[in-house]
Structures are given as structure tokens and as C-alpha cells.
Amino acid sequence: MHMTPNDTFRLPLPPIAGRRIKMGVQKHFTGSIVFGDDEGRVMQFESHTEKQTALVMLARRDVMDLENQIPFVWTDWMGELRSYSFDFRVSYRDGTRIALVVKNSRKAAEADFLAETRFIARQVTPDVADRVSLVTERHLDPIEVHNAELIHSVRQADPETDAAVRRVVAGTVGAVKIADIVSAAGCSGRGFLAVVRMIRKHELALVLHERIEPEVFVRRSLV
């Protein structure tokens, strides 16, 4: 739920997935997130790995768009048409689009699954995606997952604090510790979240590949 400057509330936009996901299934993990700015849009998923994959992709600087449950019609070994849904399609800023198949590593190691997935991937045309990639929990970097989850948690703006932190950042040169930015802004814990929002917006970047914490260093993004 998002409050506008006129003090009215707007609910998030509904999912636009190509396939309806049945929520609340007891046999496996289901859930949803709200992504994007302001009221955002709901995205549903059918596994914890799908959720983590979505958050990681949404946090990456080179990702322009993320769609889920992309329908695709393929021809099986017997020549019959069959329907399939890719879990995600990632659109990158360089124009590349990659269809993602997200599975747990045990399923992904099965010979039948790999054979079918490769058979489907060979039929994918450029109007659907440039290539197909398989993602399991083993492909996800724990540091990147941690940061993506933190970045997602601060999507709602805090205008006063955000402005105070942005003023401090505007006067920085080179690498600066997050805790020092927060101290200079005089915003305590809210200031830390405002710095994370600047990382989310790619106005700030981590100097090293590490978890976002008060003691790490950031710098202003060049572009």
C-alpha cells in the first residue's frame, strides 16, 4: 500500500504473469512480493529460490525489466505442441533478454529434466529470448541475496531523511563509510535505510563485494 502526497492510499497493481499461480499450496512454498516504485506491482512465485532470484535480478544495475511466468509453445519429441512457462525473463540494458528456468539443484540434476529443458531451449526464438539459463539455489551468491533482500525492504521513500542523506552524499569525494554518512546526516537508523535506498537507485555503489552494513564503504556512482 502506498500513500500519495495527497494522503490517499493506492494498492499495488495486480500480477501480469503469463500463467496464474495458485497461492497457499501446502505441499510447496508460494508467496509474493511488491516491486517497483510508489504502489508497485505484485509478483507471485512458487518457490523460495524463485523469490530470491527475483530480488537479485531486480537489484542488479544492468537489469532493466523482470517478467515472470513467460508462456512458450514448443514441440515435443513426438511432434505434439505443448505449453511451457519460463519462470522469468530478464531484460538487460544492453538489449539482451534471457529466459530463466528456476529449479532446486536436486531436480536440476535429473537427466530427464535436463534433456527436456535443453530440448525446449533449442526451440526458443529471438522474439522470446536470446538464450535460456538454468538457475538453482547454488547459483545464488549469499552476499548478493542478503543485499537484494535488504534493498527490497527499503523501497518506500522517507523524503525528509532521504533528502538529508543525499545532501551529505553530494559533498563526498571517493569512498565513504556508510556510518559516517549517517552520522553527518544526523538521521541514525533511518539514515542507514536512506543510504540503502541510494544503493537501490544506483546513486551509490559498494566499493567491495560485501554485505551492506554500517561499516562498509560506498562511493557515488559514476553514471
What residues does each domain of the chain span? 2-143, 157-220
Instruction: Find the helix or strand (DSSP H, E) in which 144 lies.
Output: helix 142-153
Question: What average pLDDT score do residues 76-81 get?
Answer: 95
According to DSSP, residue 111 is labeled: H
The whole-angstrom distance between residue 29's C-alpha and the CA centroid of its chain comes to 18
CATH 3.40.1350.10 fits 2-143, yes or no: yes
The whole-angstrom distance between residue 126's C-alpha and the CA centroid of its chain comes to 23
pLDDT confidence of 1, banded at 50, 70, 90? very low
Which amino acid is present at 101?
Answer: V
Q: Looking at residue 222, what is its pLDDT? A: 75
pLDDT exceeds 90 at position 209: yes
Q: Looking at residue 13, what is its pLDDT? A: 83
pLDDT exceeds 80 at position 9: no
pLDDT 10s digits, 38-76: 888 999 989 999 999 999 999 999 999 999 999 999 999
Strands (E) in 110-175, as ranges, are 131-135
CA angle 39, 40, 41 (to 5 degrees): 125
Question: What average pLDDT score do residues 209-220 get?
Answer: 97
Buried b / exposed e along 91-106 (16+ C-beta atoms within 10 A): beeeeebbbbbbbeee
Q: Looking at residue 31, what is its pLDDT? A: 85
Residues 6+ apart with CB under 8 A from 7: none
Helix/strand/coil for 176? strand
Question: What average pLDDT score do residues 110-114 get?
Answer: 96
Count of C-beta atoms within a 10 Å radius of residue 133: 15
pLDDT 10s digits, 183-207: 999 988 899 999 999 999 999 999 9
Indicate the fold that domain 157-220 takes in CATH: Arc Repressor Mutant, subunit A (1.10.10)
Residue percentage of the chain with pLDDT more than 70: 92
Residue percentage of the chain with pLDDT more than 90: 79
* Cα distances (Å, whole numbers) of residue 101 to 2, 98, 223: 32, 10, 31
Residues 6+ apart with CB under 8 A from 52: 137, 140, 145, 148, 149
Question: What average pLDDT score do residues 105-124 get?
Answer: 97
